[in-house]
Chain A
Amino acid sequence: KAGVTQTPRYLIKTRGQQVTLSCSPISGHRSVSWYQQTPGQGLQFLFEYFSETQRNKGNFPGRFSGRQFSNSRSEMNVSTLELGDSALYLCASSILQGAGETQYFGPGTRLLVL
């Protein structure tokens, strides 16, 4: 079974631009979570989607948004990019939403904001 895939793998943008990242979960998985990873802050939860609905949101500004499609694929969008948005953005999927559900991570999209 194929793992979680994320596209693109690398991205360079300039301040003020917006970006859209894509995540395809493992086949049959319905829950998708997004995390931001930086050397200074580590892994931080952005949001989670299940059945096309956002079920939880981390402490990030409204410039960070996401959505999930009926096939469970998910996208996240960052508008008005700032230098501090440079990070590895990770997507994780699990079969269901809920207590103790094992999450499997994709390889991430590395975003560099200049």
Chain B
Amino acid sequence: GENVEQHPSTLSVQEGDSAVIKCTYSDSASNYFPWYKQELGKGPQLIIDIRSNVGEKKDQRIAVTLNKTAKHFSLHITETQPEDSAVYFCAARGRNSGNTGKLIFGQGTTLQVKP
């Protein structure tokens, strides 16, 4: 079945350093890959997304790269700040979902940015 593996499960970095979170998906027909940030007591907030016809996308300190051949995609956060501390989820939408919005989520990465 459809599956998304996310690593690492926890990540601790110093303020100002970069953080990288990686995800691998199983459905080669997946065509949409969003990343969400979830803070304590809140719902997931979309921070960036990428579609299968694009290899990389940037938004200020955040970037996502997609390697369709290897079926993996990564989130890169540069110049991390304490407010970046949260749980990050990757997700994929596969063609097996039909024309629907069903997302398959990774298990999440708890990012801690130390001041």
Contacts and interface: CB of A to CB of B under 8 A. Distances in A.
Interface stretch (A66-74, A75-83, A102-110): A102-110
A43 B89 contact: yes
B10 interface: no
A33 B43 contact: no
Interface stretch (B13-21, B44-52, B67-75): B44-52
Given A42-B108, A48-B102, A99 B44 contact: no
B100 A56 contact: yes
B105 A99 contact: no
A35 B44 CA distance: 11
B97 interface: yes
Contacts of B105: 35, 42-44
B93 A100 contact: yes
Interface string B74-115: 000000000000000101010001111111111110000000
Interface in A1-57: 4, 31, 33, 35, 42-45, 48, 50, 55-56
Contact of A104 (B46, B97, B98, B107): B46
Interface residues on B, range: 20 to 34
Contacts, number: 74
A90 B98 contact: no
Interface of A: 4, 31, 33, 35, 42-45, 48, 50, 55-56, 58, 90, 92, 94, 97-108
Interface of B: 31-32, 34, 36, 41-46, 49, 51, 89, 91, 93, 97-108
28 contacts: A4-B43, A31-B101, A33-B101, A33-B102, A33-B103, A42-B89, A42-B106, A42-B108, A43-B103, A43-B105, A43-B108, A44-B105, A45-B103, A45-B104, A48-B100, A55-B98, A55-B100, A56-B100, A56-B101, A58-B102, A97-B100, A98-B99, A98-B100, A99-B31, A99-B32, A99-B99, A103-B103, A108-B43
